[in-house]
Structure 1
Amino acid sequence: MKETGSDMMIPKHVAVILDGNGRWAKKRFMPRNYGHVQGSKTVEKILEDAYDLGIEYFTIYAFSTENWKRPDEEVEALMKLLRSYLKSCIKTCKKNNMKVRVLGDKSKLGPDIRESIEELEIVSASNTGLNFQVALNYGSRDEILRAMKNLIHDYDNKQFKLDDIDEELFEKYLDTKGIPDPDLLIRTSGEKRLSNYLLWQLAYTEFYFTDVLWPDFTKEELLKAIEYYNSRDRRFGAI
């Protein structure tokens, strides 16, 4: 954590479930995709705010393994927006010295999307600014199952002994390998559930829920979440 001039402790890692894009658009009598477009613009602004505040890692839930169940028209629109966002993000990460990693099962995404992800991760790998993680086709249960399969494969190939398996070893098989667990989780739009997001990683995270819809989320709202975080006594199971 980083301490500001006002003695406010800044969480090292903030994870966000950016909910409410569709409802935001509906309130304005616009199609749901309009809300997703505005939501992506909010992401860009909040990333700058987060870095300015001293946050080192910022992870967003962009598309879940369950989101494929949405109407085909909306999924297609989201994939189109994703394609555009990944290309613009390459420019953004160069400009802002931002390192980007994509979490989730990339094999289910289109070939061109996978190519853009690979390019984005390669060109930003040596950047030293904000670490930005995007969860795409991500579900925590899916992540844990994939990790278990890879761990069992390596065990069968005698890369380690049964007694070597502990939390530290298992975490090396997760999508978040090398990334510290979130200190603070923010979910917008009034929903109060995890929705299969970072279940392993959120074991000791502080949760902050707000009724604000994601496109309306601002630096001021981020500061409210950090103020709440500062009010918590994080004991990690101790007294």
Structure 2
Amino acid sequence: MNTSGNGRPSVDIARPPRDPSIDHIHPCRACDVRQFSVCNVLDAPDLQRLAEVVTTITLPAHRAVFHEGDPAEHLYNVTSGCVKLYKLLADGRRQVTGFLFAGDFLGLALEDDYAYSAETVSEATLCRFPRRRLERLLEDLPKLEKRLLGNASNELAAAQDQMILLGRKSAREKIASFLVNLAGRAERRGQPSDPLPLPMSRTDIADYLGLTTETVSRTFTQLKTQRVITLLPGGMVALTDRLAIERLASGG
């Protein structure tokens, strides 16, 4: 049993059984995260149509998916690994705007060019959709179009939360909020949230939270010393005192 963001216990999410009617579809038949992805709203015939326009790609760690300003020719769905989104500021600094995991969608663009850059944090596998072909397909798949619009709304809400995180919280509160958010996302995907994998570097976290790398490292050490978290091998973090870190995240 896990603990929800408000401290109350929550029941683990069970993965639904695979639908045998789509077992013949490639590459969707082998996708373990379809139930968390935008395509989970589609039935077997519509999923077949989507599968006809998709290409599966695997990229090593630290490889660009696309750069800010590139023509927005493709959209992507992460099926494994971690991808970071970032923008380069006018003074050359980098602002990481998000981390995406299996089931997350990226590449939505209002203009003809990407408004941000995307780079793999770890080795990642993605479904790649040609933008124009997908847009034409959406005319016949209103459920998928609605789901993508929902994704865009969620991105806007996440951006608003990020503004509060950067402007109103201390370093300890930012780190705590970051960990609680990642744990909550893992739980919603039905994945273990404790210990929590942190594939991103301390510099990536610093660029996301508006801190220095030294401050991030020092804060992690402080939380470890206070036995709020435990730093484990392989970039894993155990939330030793979940209630304490949730109180810290909420400013308590």
TM-score bracket for the superposition, by shorter chain length: under 0.3
Q: TM-score, normalised by structure 2?
A: 0.24
Q: TM-score, normalised by structure 1?
A: 0.25
- Larger relative contact order (CA 8 Å, sep ≥ 6): 1
Q: Which has the higher strand share?
A: 2
